[in-house]
Amino acid sequence: MRRFLDFHSGLTTLIAAISAASLSCFSTSAAEPVDVELVLAVDVSLSMSPMELDIQRRGYVAALTDAKVVQAIRDGMHGKIAITYFEWAGDAMQRVVVPWTVIADQADAEAFAARLQAGVPNSARRTSISAALGFAGDLLAESSFSGMKRVIDISGDGPNNAGVPVDGVRDQIVAQGITINGLPLMTSGGGRSSFDFADLDAYYTNCVIGGPGAFVVPVNDWSQFPEAIRRKLVLELAGPLSPVPAAFTGTAPGAIRVQAGRDYDCQIGEKLWNNRSWMWDSR
């Protein structure tokens, strides 16, 4: 009887171990393979006017449904991508507008665009690029997809002025093999303030982007926005071994800057905010 119980106990343990291993293998293989896992992180801070927020939404809709973008998706090894879109402002404001969705053809792109067009962007105070990057990193960590590339595409019209320093968060995300690309909005027409500065593209280049093939596409006028988004998406959807775009320092639509190595004050946004707050408090 004792030998039978020992045998039964050992058999039960073996079955449990095999089941655990099987579940582990199943869990690993359950991640759907895609060419790119792409997070679109879009600034909706109060420095942007309702008109700019509308242009921004419509620009993404137009780019995502563009025939060249859809073709770039179909040309991938798997012929599909996983994409999600969220809006952000201060360090406590991140809102997913469209959750993780697979796009494999024009119909998928149109369906994603329809969900994106529903509702109105909600603005909020402050600008926390660092919190937005951290939120984007969490979205990638929690996705049910396995991408050959993982990319965060972040747009914004100002430097980080809330939350932790942005370059530290950037470095943590890049260390995970994730690429961060930037779309600095150097436009006019919104709620301009003393927090703005002329070299936002240089700030993004030195403090925000990073990872394999990282690049920045500055937008100097809202008329450039749809084309800038379209070109940026095509580049991001290119194969994992695609070359890094050549640096371009002009101001034409779709201009590209790649990450530089020179020193830069990545806390300039925080300093501008603190200086402005001190001036208001001292009045």
Domains for the chain: give ranges and CATH numbers.
34-281 (3.40.50.410)
Q: What is the pLDDT of residue 252?
A: 38
| Helix-strand-coil split of the chain, %, nearest 5 | 45, 20, 35
β-partners of residue 181 are 153
Segment among 29-33, 67-71, 188-192 with least mean pLDDT: 188-192
pTM value is 0.81
- The dihedral formed by the CA atoms of 259, 265, 268 and 274, expressed in degrees to the nearest 10: 150
Euclidean distance between CA atoms 185 and 157, whole angstroms: 5
Q: Would you say residue 278 has pLDDT above 50?
A: no
Would you state the pLDDT for residue 66? 96
Report the candidate in 128, 146, 112, 96 with the shortest Cα–Cα distance to residue 233: 112
**What's the alpha-carbon Rg for the chain, to the nearest Å?**
22
* Cα–Cα distance, 278 to 283 (Å, whole number): 9
What's the start-to-end Cα distance of the chain, in Å?
89
Tens of pLDDT, residue by residue over 111-164, are: 999 999 987 777 788 899 999 999 999 999 999 999 999 999 999 988 999 899
Burial-class residue 268 by CB neighbours within 10 Å (0-12, 13-18, 19+).
middle
> pLDDT band for position 9 (50/70/90)?
low
Q: Picking from 1-10, 61-70, 208-217, 258-267, which range would have the lowest pLDDT averaged per residue?
A: 1-10
